[in-house]
Amino acid sequence: MRTRTFFALPLVTLFMSCQSGAPVYENMGHLIIIGGGERTAEIMKKTVELAGGSASRFLIIPQASSEPLETAQYQQADILKYGAGEVSYLLLDSSNVDSIGHLESIRHATAIFFSGGDQIRLTRLLLGTQLLEEIKALYQRGGLISGTSAGAAIQSELMITGEELINQDEDRPYNTIAPNNIETVQGFGFVPEAIIDQHHIKRRRNNRVISAVLEHPELLGVAIDESTAILVNPDRSFQVLGDATVIVYDARHAQNIRLDKFNNFAVDDMKVQLLMNGDRFSLITGKRLQ
């Protein structure tokens, strides 16, 4: 007989939170959002630990990749190397995405890992599906959602696709800070407070994140470099893991967002914070935590 582990908030904790006025958070799981590149031992050990260690049950969703089977097998070996219990993968297409077997696999899992590649492949396949709803339910009951590169981008509510709508010069990508150029679409919504970017410093993507944030100043821009990750906790704080830097762009309290006659953005008092390994940050307050 298959045994299942159910994740729930103890009633006493819920009662105390309500009595104290402390916030009660709907999502009880964790996110590990990786900016692409090599995944460090620190990142992978924490990923396996939060998934349940030797009792973990990972499901890899590799459909962002142009070679999903090869990608899934590579990532399966990598996750097993760090002590995971079970690691399997789903080869999905539009004809089988909501099959009973796939839905049951999600219900049995403790962690989901989204591969890198092209994030549009993931949103086109999974948005509006019962499978995505099961993944969200896994997160809400205490599971882990992780992903790298494209698997990082899809985790925000508003997702950068990587395409430009005005600039078509492939030799000079993201060469302006301007409106209506950076294409964004609906993502999976695990991080509604921010736009997630990846490969950020290595690929010099500063202009595209600032452009997106100034078009959507109610959202933070959380830009993660390669071999670096953020661990998002249920209280909507995150901790930086890995070898490089996370940059947070905050225009929520900026003044005088405006355009010049050449359609370039300008802004007063926009906040930029550089975070390093071990730093903790609140997505709600926009401040580094001590």
Domain borders along the chain are 25-283
pTM: 0.89
Average pLDDT over the chain reads 91
Directed axis angle between helix 68-81 and helix 41-51, to 10°?
Answer: 90
pLDDT tens per residue across span 6-52: 333 333 333 333 343 434 456 589 999 999 999 999 999 999 999 99
* Ranges in the chain, pLDDT < 70: 1-27
Q: How far apart are CA 153 and CA 118, in angstroms?
A: 9
Sheet holding 280-282, edge to edge: 86-89, 57-61, 111-114, 144-148, 30-34, 228-232, 237-242, 280-282, 288-289
pLDDT of residue 22: 38
Cβ atoms of 85 and 120 within 8 Å: the answer is: no
Phi-psi group of 29: left, alpha or beta (phi > 0 → left; psi -120 to 50 → alpha; rest → beta): beta
Pick the CATH number of 25-283 from 3.30.470.10, 3.40.50.880, 3.40.50.10740, 3.20.20.80: 3.40.50.880
pLDDT of residue 131: 98
Q: Which two three-digit tokens encode residue 272?
A: 């930029």
The CA angle 100-103-104, to the nearest 5 degrees, is 85
